[in-house]
Amino acid sequence: MIASKIFQHKTVRARESQFNTLKMDSLEVFPNILAGIQTSLNNSSTIPHHSTKALEDAADSLRSEIDKMEKWIDSTRHFLQSLEDHNKILQKSCQTMTLAASHSLRPFPPFPLDIAQQIIHLSCTNDRKTILSVSLVSKQLHEWADDSLWSRIIFRPNQRHKLETFLDFFSKPDFLSSPQAKRIQSMGFGCSLPPNSTILFSLPNLKTFSIGRGQSLIWLRGASCPSLRQLSCSPLDISPSLSSFEFRQPIFQSITHLNMVMPFTMQHSRWLDADWSDLRNLSRLTHLNLDASSVRDDARLLALLKPALPDSLKLVVVGLTEKLQQSFHDVRTGLIDRRMVVSTNSKEPSMPWVLLIPGGNLSVDGWATVGFRGANILWAKGEALLKERNATLNRNFR
């Protein structure tokens, strides 16, 4: 399209140049012819009468032709002026189209690219078909879709063989420096992890790590990941033989969001017998979630939890059932700690200030989600509920 416009523009300019040359030649030739005729007429005394008459007729004819030529020149001059105006419009159109072509890799020229990228990222989260479709649109969208494809990696309970293949691929010397390794931000594991899984913490941008319950996490002892911010696991599984939470382990020191996975039913008593005091050492922890809906003595659990909460915490989500009326009420109304909110899996909570989590605690997928989904929605709703409740309580106490 742009090439066609430029060709038209060059053609018009060429025609205009040819006409200007013709016009100048005509203006130079015709006066000379007229001067010659006039000289001949002045010397007509030496010319026979019939020759003089012929010259006068030729002069009249030439004057008529010159008048026609002048009219043609005037009309052509107007035509050229219209062509010049058209050329200016054409030049402006070419400049606009050339500028648009220079931004052809930008899928949303009038739209902020960071917002467009976030929209594409959210649309691709948890949807591999969307990722594949988006990647075919353009080079720019392919790059963004590739970010979504690698940013979140989940291994489900029946995918241990895929995990082993991935770890073999991961162990290649050049993988950590590859673009794919730099894009990985979140990982979730429903299947058991082998002891050499600590190599995963070498990922430079890993921020979220989710491990299902019932796994031996002894391999986490001594492991560290400075970039890690969100962790979902059962801390007691790090040291199955101990009756204390291993919150002094290096893996917890950079954590800001922690989900404590409830052990299997037969091990619920371990939460009540364990030492919670090390929780206070997590000086960066701002968000904590624990599902105590299956714990029989919830009042005792809350009594152990309250003094162990670090000062850095802004939100504590405690999962309870409405059947445990007193504890449910105390957490819901902030009587135990103003940073606590209660969550439940009831379809329709019967009272205000209750965080609804359909189906109970989130799955490994939910805790390993990057972006404003899964666990991040839980934190956002919990913060909003906490702000609303505390504001209401403050007004009531005035």
The packing angle between helices 139-151 and 113-124, to 10°, is: 50
374 falls in which pLDDT band (50, 70, 90)? low
Residue 385 predicted with pLDDT over 70 = yes
Residue 245 predicted with pLDDT over 70 = yes
Q: What local confidence, expressed as pLDDT, does residue 360 receive?
A: 55
Exposed/middle/buried for 282, CB within 10 Å: 0-12, 13-18, 19+? buried
5 falls in which pLDDT band (50, 70, 90)? very low
- Please state, in angstroms and rounded to a whole number, the distance separating the CA atoms of residues 231 and 260: 8
Residue 12 predicted with pLDDT over 60 = no
Q: What local confidence, expressed as pLDDT, does residue 40 receive?
A: 56
Q: What local confidence, expressed as pLDDT, does residue 150 receive?
A: 81
Q: What local confidence, expressed as pLDDT, does residue 285 receive?
A: 96
Residue 1 predicted with pLDDT over 50 = no
- Please state, in angstroms and rounded to a whole number, the distance separating the CA atoms of residues 286 and 258: 8
The larger pLDDT score, comparing residue 284 to residue 235, is at 284
370 falls in which pLDDT band (50, 70, 90)? very low
Q: What local confidence, expressed as pLDDT, does residue 306 receive?
A: 93
Question: Amino acid identity, residue 325?
Answer: Q
Q: What local confidence, expressed as pLDDT, does residue 267 receive?
A: 58
Q: What local confidence, expressed as pLDDT, does residue 341 receive?
A: 93
Residue 105 predicted with pLDDT over 50 = no
308 falls in which pLDDT band (50, 70, 90)? very high
Q: What local confidence, expressed as pLDDT, does residue 289 receive?
A: 92
- The mean per-residue pLDDT over the stretch 196-207 comes to 88
- Please state, in angstroms and rounded to a whole number, the distance separating the CA atoms of residues 266 and 270: 9
In 3D space, the residue among 102, 107, 187, 99 whose CA is nearest the CA of residue 143 turns out to be 107
The larger pLDDT score, comparing residue 90 to residue 104, is at 90
- The mean per-residue pLDDT over the stretch 202-230 comes to 87
Exposed/middle/buried for 183, CB within 10 Å: 0-12, 13-18, 19+? middle
Please report, rounded to a whole number, the percentage of residues in the chain having pLDDT higher than 90. 15
- The mean per-residue pLDDT over the stretch 220-230 comes to 89
- Please state, in angstroms and rounded to a whole number, the distance separating the CA atoms of residues 18 and 22: 6
Q: What local confidence, expressed as pLDDT, does residue 227 receive?
A: 92
- The mean per-residue pLDDT over the stretch 114-127 comes to 72
270 falls in which pLDDT band (50, 70, 90)? confident
Long-range CB pairs of 39-47, under 8 A, 24+ apart, other chains included: none
Q: What local confidence, expressed as pLDDT, does residue 22 receive?
A: 55
Lowest mean pLDDT among 50-59, 77-86, 132-141: 50-59
Q: What local confidence, expressed as pLDDT, does residue 362 receive?
A: 65
- The mean per-residue pLDDT over the stretch 243-266 comes to 81
Residue 311 predicted with pLDDT over 90 = yes
Highest mean pLDDT among 11-25, 239-253, 354-368: 239-253
The 10s digit of each residue's pLDDT in 156-184 is 888 888 888 888 888 888 888 888 888 88
Q: What local confidence, expressed as pLDDT, does residue 368 receive?
A: 60
- Please state, in angstroms and rounded to a whole number, the distance separating the CA atoms of residues 270 and 393: 35
The larger pLDDT score, comparing residue 247 to residue 116, is at 247
Q: What local confidence, expressed as pLDDT, does residue 275 receive?
A: 85
What is the DSSP code (8-state) at residue 194? P
CA 333 from centre of chain: 38
